């Protein structure tokens, strides 16, 4: 399979005449802060809840708060814990809630710089979440999925010598107790997905009807002026044969209504948060936009073709 650049993937995306309806999600009760990089809604103790990254426009010191919808507006859920994290994600493994995000801390080597790592929590509900492990230093976008055979699939996104700006890896473990930074660091990479000057990562994993894994993620690059360009993408992965389909872009910032941005270099950025498949051949795609806003987009179900 020929590696395609973002430019080539965008050409394919635009030629398909995709129809997208996007609406900005309204958040209140957060004292003028921005909410972005949200999860898709998930159920917790009878409530449909969204986790979102909440912060001031001029900084990246964020909290993850949990929101419920009241009359079309998302408000903070009362009596619910908060986390000093960025970019939340959730999944279920054996009916247990697995939650995580990116923890920011002083860089372990470079004085005055920030470091980060992905941290993982587990519990029967949000308020019972307890930290159980963490990923290696300087790695975001680690995602888990319970496989049909009972194992747990682990998707990673290393950078540096092996991963360049960021590539996707995959491995399998027997249980959550095996998940640690060493296992994550040694995960083999999927081949032929990203050019070395482009990058991407996984955001949410779906088990498809035929047993394939449907990966929702992002693919990104810089332009010549140093501006970032992020797109939502998907691909299918066979965890038994280690085969991945070609990446497919499913949404761009230009598909959504105009809005605000944290900085000028982030104007053309969307970050896949989660996807809910509907029964009518459509899907709800939940997105962060320009590091300042959150949207829901109605799109054609991007995983349907992998189940045919």
The whole-number average pLDDT for the span 273-290 is 97
CA angle in degrees (0–180, nearest 5) for 213-96-138: 65
Percent helix / strand / coil, the chain, rounded to 5: 10, 45, 40
pLDDT of residue 108: 78
Asked whether the predicted pLDDT for residue 253 surpasses 80, the reply is yes
Q: What is the pLDDT of residues 19-33, one digit of tens each?
A: 899 999 999 999 999
CA atoms within 13 A on the CB side of 184: 27
Q: Average the pLDDT over 132-158 and give the result.
A: 97
Question: Averaged over 220-244, what is the pLDDT?
Answer: 97
pLDDT band at 16 (very low <50, low <70, confident <90, very high): confident
Structural contact between residues 25 and 38, judged by C-beta atoms closer than 8 angstroms: yes
Per-chain mean pLDDT for the chain: 96
Residue 60 pLDDT exceeds 90:
no
Element spanning 22, H or E? strand 21-24
Neighbours of 189 (CB within 10 A): 17
Rounded mean pLDDT, 148-169: 94
Phi and psi angles of residue 80, each rounded to the nearest 5 degrees, phi first: -130, 140
pLDDT of amino acid 51: 98
Task: Indicate the domain borders of the chain.
Answer: 6-307
pLDDT in tens, 85-98: 999 999 999 999 99
Which pLDDT score, from 0 to 100, does residue 162 have? 83
Nearest CA-CA partner of 196 in 165, 169, 223, 221: 165
Say if CB 247 and CB 215 are below 8 A apart. Answer: no
Averaged over 286-296, what is the pLDDT?
98
Secondary structure (DSSP) of 182-221: HHHHTPPBPSSSS-TTEEEEEEEEEE-TTS-EEEEEEEEE
Say if residue 18's pLDDT is above 90: no
Pick the CATH number of 6-307 from 2.40.37.10, 3.40.50.11440, 2.115.10.20, 1.20.1250.20: 2.115.10.20
pLDDT band at 243 (very low <50, low <70, confident <90, very high): very high
């Amino acid at each position: 399979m020929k590696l395609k650049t973002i430019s080539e993937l965008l050409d394919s995306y635009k030629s398909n005449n995709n129809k997208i309806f996007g609406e900005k999600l309204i958040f209140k009760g957060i004292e003028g802060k921005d909410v972005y990089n949200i999860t898709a809604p998930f159920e917790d103790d009878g409530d449909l809840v969204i986790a979102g990254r909440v912060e001031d426009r001029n900084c990246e010191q964020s909290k993850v708060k949990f929101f419920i919808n009241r009359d079309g507006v998302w408000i903070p859920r009362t009596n619910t814990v908060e986390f000093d994290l960025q970019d939340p994600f959730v999944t279920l493994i054996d009916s247990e809630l697995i939650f995580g995000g990116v923890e920011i801390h002083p860089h372990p080597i470079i004085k005055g710089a920030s470091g980060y790592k992905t941290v993982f929590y587990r519990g029967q509900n949000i308020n019972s979440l307890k930290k159980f492990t963490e990923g290696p230093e300087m790695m975001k976008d680690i995602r888990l999925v319970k496989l049909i055979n009972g194992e747990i699939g682990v998707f990673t996104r290393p950078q540096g010598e092996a991963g360049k700006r960021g590539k996707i890896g995959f491995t399998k473990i027997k249980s959550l107790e095996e998940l640690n930074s060493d296992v994550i660091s040694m995960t083999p990479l999927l081949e032929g997905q990203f050019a070395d000057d482009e990058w991407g990562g996984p955001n949410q994993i779906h088990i498809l009807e035929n047993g394939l894994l449907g990966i929702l993620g992002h693919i990104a690059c810089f332009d010549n002026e140093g501006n970032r360009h992020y797109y939502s993408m998907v691909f299918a992965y066979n965890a038994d044969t280690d085969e991945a389909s070609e990446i497919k872009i499913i949404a761009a910032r230009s598909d959504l209504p105009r809005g605000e941005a944290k900085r000028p270099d982030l104007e053309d950025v969307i970050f896949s948060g989660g996807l809910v498949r509907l029964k009518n051949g459509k899907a709800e795609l939940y997105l962060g936009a320009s590091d300042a806003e959150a949207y829901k987009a109605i799109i054609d179900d991007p995983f349907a073709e992998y189940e045919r």
